[in-house]
Structure 1
Amino acid sequence: MKRILLLLAFSATFIGSAQNITLKKGVVIDSLVVNDTIPETFSLYLPKKFDVSKTWPVVFVFDMNGRGRQALAMVSAAAEEQGYVLAASNNISDTLSIAKNILITSRMFNTVTTMLPIRKNGIYTSGFSAGGRFSTLVPAFIKGVEGVIACGASVANIEVLTSRNPFHYIGVVGDEDFTYPEMLTIEKILSRLKFPNQLLVFDGGHEWPNTENLSKALKILTLAAMAKGYVPRDEAYIDVSYTEDFVTVNRLYSENKPLLADSWLEEMSEIYQPYVALDSIKTSRKTLRKSRLFREQNRTQNSLNLKESLIKEEYNYYLEEDIITYNYNNLGWWKYQMEELQKFQKSPEVLQQKLGKRLEGYVKALVSDNVDVLSAETPVDGEALNFLWMLKTVIEPDNFDSYLKIISYTAKTDDYGTALFYLEELLEKGYANRSELYALENTALLRITPEFNELVEKYLKEARYTIIEE
């Protein structure tokens, strides 16, 4: 199919053999067709300065629920600042195999690089959480990916990495994120494998980084491209970036965050090594690491790192045993653990607060991963899943979906006592979707019992059925 791009003042118009699409600049455009024969679409973002007379770098952003438009919305402000095109598939899904997702990705790559003037050696991937992990797999299967920005996500599979096909890895993670310790480990592994890499750490949890941090990540890719000669060296850009990064370091230290300041100085040594003498960076880091505040926090952090590792091992061990034995009696132990994590989070010591938040996130992710694994097995072990749903009500008491699944399963197994117990727990939490409750799978007989309707009447003021006893 022949494609021609016409650039207008505020839009780029794409004319194909079967369609004429106006591609506006500065906004996320959704539902662009990959090709005429396959029902796949993608979202696209062109910076306001986009010009077809120049070549542009592109970042393919992945969301494993196929929400291309939402994914690009999180990155578009940073892409605008740094001059990057963005694209995201609306068909990528964590329910598909890796092979199918890679094929969808490959087709999107081909369409975007044919449609737009994309710079050679200027193709990158990115994503958050599961999307971030998938983005680290893409370079192993599709040639030409120069770098990856993985947000809140480690490398998906170390085994597929090879020094014959290195890519520039940039991890962006909050220091309260449960993936933070793993990403610190991955940084060391990638360095041993001679992969260029940086880890940008911000003050926060398992969340998309803000525009400032995403912009820094894109800036690093631009500086790396300059160092390799892929784009002309821009001295003004380098000087401004260098100054901005020192401002960031000083701000972090003034906010009593010396560990984050030191981490950023370490990354600056790698980023600016091709451009400037590193004396100022080395001197600043040496001075910072001698400060009393840094020494105290570093000593505390090292101690907490060991504690965190031991606690996570304990969680893994007991959860595996509990699933195998359907150990409902151990739900009390898990409740106690969550109370202990709350104590960490209420500590006057900031680093202990962050430890508590990371461990809470880790438990939630661990249980969710086990639910996904068991749900995919054939046949499904319903009793093991029921235990995990009950555990979810302990670690995520406001997650209504877990209560509903327990009610459905225990009604199916005629355990009405447990079903009614979790029904009342659910209603006490504020659940008010009467229609969903009366349509819940496996509860036809339960729904017509006096006990069920009395609870609904008590909390929702109106039950569907009134039981009259003669």
Structure 2
Amino acid sequence: MKKKLLLLFLSVAFYGTAQQLTLKKGIIIDAIPVNDTIPENFALYLPTSFDPSKKWPIVFVFDMKGRGKQVLSMLRQAAEEQEYVLAASNNINDSITLSKNILISSRMFSTVYSILPIKKNRSYTAGFSGGARLASLMPTFVKKIKGVISCGSAVANEAVLSSKNKFHFIGIVGNEDYNFLSMKNNQKVLDKLKFPNQLFVFDGGKKWPESSYLAKAMEIFTLSAMNSGIEPRNDAFISNTYKTNLGEVSALLTSGKALRADKRLTEMTGIYRNFKNVDSLKESTKTLRKTKLFRSNKRSQNATFFKENLIKDDYSYYLEEDVLSYNYNNLGWWKYQMEELDKYEKGSNLYEKQMGRRLKSFVNDLIADNIDIVKAPSAVDEEALLFLWMLNTITDAKNKSPYLKIISLSSKVEDYGTALFYLEELLKTGYTNTDELYALENTALFRITPEFNEIVAKYLKDARYETKDE
């Protein structure tokens, strides 16, 4: 069946001139102008069930690179299933100030509210990583925002949270994401301030969650709206979601994930207690917590968390010290640390496996942050940069970028010994992009040396210059 077209006319007062927009349901429409006077636009998604005679909930999605259409594609399936409108600015950017991003967002909000029948008291925000941090700040500055779906990030600034301005926070994170612990700790802060909140954990690292988790978050927002009287109570919806959640708990128990099953039961008790009798959920929770599997998993997880926090503190301390002193002698210690993390990943303890992957992600992000700090001043400390890139070849050996940067910077100062060493290390990883290699900045003299071409010929059979005299 062909999707119907929805014609929306924007007011003359808002734009200054009469304009007509044609919006299709069930597809992402990109580059919708905010107004005629500002070169800002956004992407929009209307579910196929959209009816302009009714008012709709909306999720404003944030991406710090302004990729509105791309970021909406991550939530499209969930929005279609749960019947939510989506919108995302194409002008949000991590290179501009927070205040500018908030003003850009506010202008988009105003436009969306003016052209669509939106329930303003059912406006939510969402994002991943940096976008999630911005999404979590929006309720502080825009009172219409009633909830946040934060993927892979805790609340950006706990200091701005106030019990006088509560919003519903739903976190979603992978158990191999280094933000996993900070999001668990964040939940304790939200509980203390009596913010409604949930935290869902999936298997995996730092990435967007599957659509089912995003749909679950929207489902909870709908149930919360029913509970507060914003939405009329829908007993069929309540019953169906309750049964689905029980099935998910059962699946978690069957797969031996006792801690996550316990967490889901606790979340369900809070969500459904005003809709139905939850004594059976409470009893199931008590029974589960008495099992040997639960107690064993809880002890193992707590021990791992304790160890992980100590290791993270060590990494933060030693990296700062090593950068300040250009401590190349400590690169061996870092190599040993990565070997230890490899052992955790290959071990039999599930929680230590996850810890090993989280810590690898943590140290690489820590290095990236330090690189940004070193590069920020007008007079860049190239020695510190060189150290950080060398360290990055140890912590992320398959990433070509730090090798290339070391080769370029070493060639710039005519340290060809270092450049040759990292050239060969790069080629050992399987790197084959000769066009990129021969165009590398600062390497014009280095590239014509016999040593350079001998190494290239050894690994790629494609040296552009003679490796020895005739």
Partner residue in 2 for 1:337: 337
Paired residue secondary structure (2:444): coil
Q: Map Cα deviations across residues 28-74 of structure 1 (whole Å, 9 max, x no partner).
A: 22222222222222111111101110111111111112222221111
The residue type equivalent to 1:51 in the other structure is D
Partner residue in 2 for 1:95: 95
Q: Map Cα deviations across residues 356-376 of structure 1 (whole Å, 9 max, x no partner).
A: 112122112211222222222
Residue 210 (structure 2) pairs with residue 210 (structure 1): yes
Please tell me the root mean square deviation across aligned C-alpha atoms, in Å.
Answer: 1.7
Paired residue secondary structure (1:22): strand
> In 1, Cα distance between the equivalents of 2:207 and 2:158?
23
Partner residue in 2 for 1:402: 402
Greater shift, 147-156 or 453-462, is seen at 453-462
The residue type equivalent to 2:325 in the other structure is T
- C-alpha distance 138-411 of structure 1, shift in aligned 2 (>3 A): same
Paired residue secondary structure (2:404): helix
Residue 6 (structure 2) pairs with residue 12 (structure 1): yes
The residue type equivalent to 1:401 in the other structure is S
> In 2, Cα distance between the equivalents of 1:15 and 1:427?
59
1:91-240 matches, within 5 Å, as 91-240=91-240
Partner residue in 2 for 1:295: 295
Paired residue secondary structure (2:414): coil
The residue type equivalent to 2:421 in the other structure is F
> In 2, Cα distance between the equivalents of 1:436 and 1:397?
19
Paired residue secondary structure (1:445): helix
Partner residue in 2 for 1:315: 315
CA drift of 1:171 comes to 0.5
Paired residue secondary structure (1:154): coil
> In 2, Cα distance between the equivalents of 1:123 and 1:164?
18
TM-score (norm 2): 0.95
Q: Map Cα deviations across residues 56-102 of structure 1 (whole Å, 9 max, x no partner).
A: 11111111122222211111111111111111112212222212221
> In 2, Cα distance between the equivalents of 1:232 and 1:78?
21
Q: Map Cα deviations across residues 136-177 of structure 1 (whole Å, 9 max, x no partner).
A: 112222221100000111111112222222211111112222
- Please, which runs of 5 or more residues in structure 1 have no aligned partner? 1-7
CA drift of 1:463 comes to 2.9
Q: Map Cα deviations across residues 111-141 of structure 1 (whole Å, 9 max, x no partner).
A: 2111211102111111111111111112222
Identical-pair percentage: 56
Greater shift, 299-308 or 92-101, is seen at 92-101
> In 1, Cα distance between the equivalents of 2:397 and 2:7?
50
2:3, 2:24 within 8 Å by CA — same for their partners in 1? no
> In 1, Cα distance between the equivalents of 2:468 and 2:287?
81
2:227, 2:274 within 8 Å by CA — same for their partners in 1? yes
> In 2, Cα distance between the equivalents of 1:362 and 1:226?
40
CA drift of 1:469 comes to 4.6
CA drift of 1:468 comes to 6.6
> In 1, Cα distance between the equivalents of 2:297 and 2:467?
64
Partner residue in 2 for 1:414: 414
> In 2, Cα distance between the equivalents of 1:468 and 1:33?
62
CA drift of 1:449 comes to 2.0
2:453, 2:463 within 8 Å by CA — same for their partners in 1? yes
> In 2, Cα distance between the equivalents of 1:81 and 1:320?
47
1:249, 1:264 within 8 Å by CA — same for their partners in 2? yes
- How many residues align structurally? 463
2:447, 2:453 within 8 Å by CA — same for their partners in 1? yes
TM-score (norm 1): 0.95
2:27, 2:45 within 8 Å by CA — same for their partners in 1? yes
Paired residue secondary structure (1:86): strand
> In 2, Cα distance between the equivalents of 1:28 and 1:373?
37
Residue 321 (structure 2) pairs with residue 327 (structure 1): no
> In 2, Cα distance between the equivalents of 1:425 and 1:62?
39
Q: Map Cα deviations across residues 216-273 of structure 1 (whole Å, 9 max, x no partner).
A: 1111111111111111111111111111111111110010000000011111122112
Partner residue in 1 for 2:450: 450
The residue type equivalent to 1:189 in the other structure is V
Partner residue in 2 for 1:352: 352
Residue 259 (structure 2) pairs with residue 255 (structure 1): no
> In 2, Cα distance between the equivalents of 1:139 and 1:148?
8
Partner residue in 1 for 2:13: none
- C-alpha distance 450-37 of structure 1, shift in aligned 2 (>3 A): farther
> In 2, Cα distance between the equivalents of 1:149 and 1:451?
54
> In 1, Cα distance between the equivalents of 2:377 and 2:270?
45
> In 2, Cα distance between the equivalents of 1:451 and 1:468?
9
2:34, 2:41 within 8 Å by CA — same for their partners in 1? yes
1:366-381 matches, within 5 Å, as 366-381=366-381
Paired residue secondary structure (1:430): coil
Residue 306 (structure 2) pairs with residue 306 (structure 1): yes
Partner residue in 2 for 1:3: none
> In 2, Cα distance between the equivalents of 1:418 and 1:9?
62
CA drift of 1:428 comes to 2.0
> In 2, Cα distance between the equivalents of 1:427 and 1:96?
38
1:61, 1:72 within 8 Å by CA — same for their partners in 2? yes
Q: Map Cα deviations across residues 370-410 of structure 1 (whole Å, 9 max, x no partner).
A: 22222223322221121111111111111111111111111
Q: Map Cα deviations across residues 165-203 of structure 1 (whole Å, 9 max, x no partner).
A: 221111111222211111111101111122111111222
Partner residue in 1 for 2:14: none
1:202, 1:260 within 8 Å by CA — same for their partners in 2? no
1:52, 1:116 within 8 Å by CA — same for their partners in 2? yes
1:201, 1:263 within 8 Å by CA — same for their partners in 2? no
The residue type equivalent to 2:189 in the other structure is I
Partner residue in 1 for 2:36: 36
Partner residue in 2 for 1:382: 382
The residue type equivalent to 1:11 in the other structure is L
Residue 65 (structure 2) pairs with residue 71 (structure 1): no
CA drift of 1:19 comes to 4.9
- C-alpha distance 412-12 of structure 1, shift in aligned 2 (>3 A): same
